[in-house]
Amino acid sequence: MNQMEKKLAEYKCDTNEAICLKLVRFPEDVDDDSTTFHPEYSHQLFGDDEVAFGYKGLQIQLFYSAGNLSTLFKVKYSAKVTEKFDCVEPDDVEGKIREVIPAGFSCNTDDFISLLEKEANFKPFGTLLHTYTVHSVEEGEDLTYQIHKVNVSCPGFKEFHERLQTFLLWFIETASFIDADDDRWDFFLVFEKYNKDGETLFAVVGYMTVYNYYVYPDKTRPRVSQMLILPPFQGEGHGAQLLEAVHRYYCTCPKVQDITAEDPSDNYVKLRDFVLVKLCMALPSFSTDRLKHGFSEEMAHEAQDKLKINKKHARRVYEILRLRATDMSDVEQARDYRLEVKKRLYGPYRKNQREITKMKKCLRPEELASHVSQMDTQVQHEELEKSYQEVLGDYRRVIERLALV
């Protein structure tokens, strides 16, 4: 790297550090660094390197009022590359952010603070589904939360959702904005109730979007599209409360076939495992004395009929509850459980064997040999054991969490 390149490199900023997000309740929060949080991702605006060029000490402020999400947007920096170098253009940071945040934001801190006075007028959208409390060690008291179901026809919600969905870009790797005008979308929002100067106010905690697909001839299949609990509230159990409330809502809808998720992340799958196991524990077919007899059609039917859980997910629930009821220090019980789970995991390998049989009929010996080597039995056994141990680890974490409920 020559001297010029070294000097220009000083004008590169990590955009995940430069972007400063806040959910503001009180005017003093604006200057309180402890209320700031940062994105996990910024590649959708700033490329795979997640770097902005042309600034030193870059700070991109995106501050939101806690309830209505009125927005303050400011760009600050200590130095700009054009102050020292001719013919070198900095990235248009402001332009990139303006592409994704809806119009109507403030650029002046005083104007933004004045909007906080209107937060008392903000009330959650839609219909109240569920209320719950979480004990706050910091506050020394139980805090109250509400989950609401909303559709896009609710007055003012479309504009609110445009502000809310900007958070997806920073915390979901493959996030994309949805066409909220489609009336097949359902929205579920979590709010915290809090007091300010003797008044009850509401702060956004997180949300979920669900699309209702048609299933022939007269059913629907709700599919979870996006789910986000905002960072200041993560790790407090709100995701589980939200997913359980959504499941319970759709369980009351006779036309719902089952509930699925679009390209679920590992974290979502773990959360779903916990919620579905918790729900299925109340079903007679999943009682401890029936688990030892294996997964049954009765389990699959009852899970779908009463809880809108499809057969694949019901099988996974069974395996978790079977593990919970199994003494893994007992050699015979541990062996029976291992074989039961591996029987399911072996499915893809059995498919490979069928493919080999088909190949024998249409491939030359040398072509067949190369394919068979890729499906080596020893490798299959090793991969099967690895998959089993990973599943076992996931299941044990669910059981540990259940013990805390």
CATH code for position 74: 3.90.360.10
Predicted local distance difference test score (pLDDT) of residue 3:
79
Has residue 283 been placed in a domain?
no
Count of other CB atoms within 10 angstroms of residue 378: 7
CA distance 259 to 218: 15
Last residue in a domain, options 102, 119, 136: 119
| Both structure tokens of 218 | 């007269």
| Residue 307 and residue 255 share a domain | no
Has residue 271 been placed in a domain?
no
Q: Are 296 and 302 in contact (CB under 8 A)?
A: no
- Give mean pLDDT in consecutive 10-residue pieces for the chain, a chain of 405 residues: 81 97 97 97 97 96 98 96 83 97 97 96 98 91 97 95 98 94 96 94 98 96 98 97 98 96 95 98 97 96 97 98 97 96 82 57 62 65 92 97 94
CA distance 141 to 135: 6
What is the tens place of the pLDDT at every residue in 374-385? Answer: 556 777 888 899
Q: How many domains in the chain? A: 3
Has residue 277 been placed in a domain?
no
Reduced to 3 states (helix: H, G, I; strand: E, B; else coil), residue 109 is helix
| Residue 95 and residue 26 share a domain | yes
Predicted local distance difference test score (pLDDT) of residue 143:
97
CATH (domain of 226):
3.40.630.30
CA distance 397 to 52: 39
Reduced to 3 states (helix: H, G, I; strand: E, B; else coil), residue 277 is helix
| Residue 213 and residue 315 share a domain | no
| Residue 253 and residue 197 share a domain | yes
> Which residues contact residue 17 at a Cβ distance below 8 angstroms, ignoring those fewer than 6 apart?
38
What is the tens place of the pLDDT at every residue in 224-264? Answer: 999 999 999 999 999 999 999 999 999 999 999 999 999 99
∠ CA 75-81-85, nearest 5°, is: 160
Has residue 40 been placed in a domain?
yes
For 142-192, give the DSSP string.
EEEEEEEEE-TTSTTHHHHHHHHTHHHHHH-TT-----TTSTTEEEEEEEE
| Both structure tokens of 203 | 């702060």
Measuring CA to CA, how many Å separate 294 from each of 39, 59, 328? 45, 57, 16
CB crowding 145-154: b at 16 or more within 10 Å, else e: bbbbbbebeb
| Residue 149 and residue 78 share a domain | no
| Residue 147 and residue 228 share a domain | yes
CA distance 64 to 30: 10
CA distance 320 to 363: 42
Longest CA span, the chain = 82
Last residue in a domain, options 263, 278, 310: 263
Has residue 81 been placed in a domain?
yes
| Both structure tokens of 290 | 């029936």
Last residue in a domain, options 119, 143, 171: 119
| Residue 102 and residue 9 share a domain | yes
Residue 262 is a catalytic residue? yes
Has residue 55 been placed in a domain?
yes
| Residue range(s) defining the domain that contains residue 33 | 3-119
Residue 271 CA neighbour count, 13 Å, CB half: 22
| Residue 77 and residue 131 share a domain | no
Predicted local distance difference test score (pLDDT) of residue 96:
97
Q: Which of 54, 62, 119 is nearest to 93 (CA)?
A: 54
| Residue 31 and residue 98 share a domain | yes
Q: Which of 48, 43, 55, 42 is nearest to 12 (CA)?
A: 55
| Residue 330 and residue 360 share a domain | yes
Has residue 352 been placed in a domain?
yes
Pairing, β 199-215 against β 185-196:
antiparallel
| Residue 190 and residue 257 share a domain | yes
CA distance 290 to 170: 45
* Active-site residue, selected from the candidate residues 10, 117, 262, 385: 262
Q: Are 190 and 238 in contact (CB under 8 A)?
A: yes
Residues of the chain above pLDDT 70, percent = 93
Q: Which of 135, 148, 331 is nearest to 242 (CA)?
A: 148
CA distance 25 to 34: 13
Rounded CA Rg of the chain = 26
Has residue 269 been placed in a domain?
no
| Residue 296 and residue 200 share a domain | no
